[in-house]
Amino acid sequence: AQSVAQPEDQVNVAEGNPLTVKCTYSVSGNPYLFWYVQYPNRGLQFLLKYITGDNLVKGSYGFEAEFNKSQTSFHLKKPSALVSDSALYFCAVRPTGFQKLVFGTGTRLLVSP
C-alpha cells in the first residue's frame, strides 16, 4: 500500500535555529515528492518538489528538502527558522503513473520567539 509517514505531530524550535520536519514514504517505483504548508483556515501552499536530479531541492521561503532514496525519506529543512514559519506542513507523494497525491498526516511547526 502507498503511504506517507510524518512521525512527529509537532516540532518546536526557537527562532533562528535550524528546523527539520521529517517525512518517509512507502511507494513503489520512483515517486514524485512534495511539501506543502497550510496556515490556519487556509488552503495548502506549494513549497517544493523533487522529481529527479539533485537530491537537495530548494523551494519557497528559504525551505529545502533532501531526498534520500535508500532511506525513502524526504525531510524538510530550513537553516534559520522564523516565527512566521509556524504552520502545518504536509508531505505528499505522487506515485508513478498516478495523478493524485498521497498525503502524510501533517506536522505542526511551532517557532518560538
Partner 1 sequence: GAVVSQHPSWVICKSGTSVKIECRSLDFQATTMFWYRQFPKQSLMLMATSNEGSKATYEQGVEKDKFLINHASLTLSTLTVTSAHPEDSSFYICSARKVGAVQSTDTQYFGPGTRLTVL
Q: Which residues bind partner 1 (CB under 8 A)?
A: 32, 34, 36, 41-46, 49, 51-52, 90, 99-101, 103-106
Q: Which of 30, 29, 12 is CA-nearest to residue 21? A: 12
Q: How far apart are CB 16 and partner 1 at their closest, in Å?
A: 28
| Residue whose CB is less far from partner 1, 45 or 112 | 45
| Residue whose CB is less far from partner 1, 43 or 113 | 43
Q: How far apart are CB 100 and partner 1 at their closest, in Å?
A: 6
Overall residue count recorded for the chain in this entry: 113
Give whole-number Cα distances, 75 to 14, 42, 65, 70, 112, in Å. Answer: 19, 23, 5, 13, 21
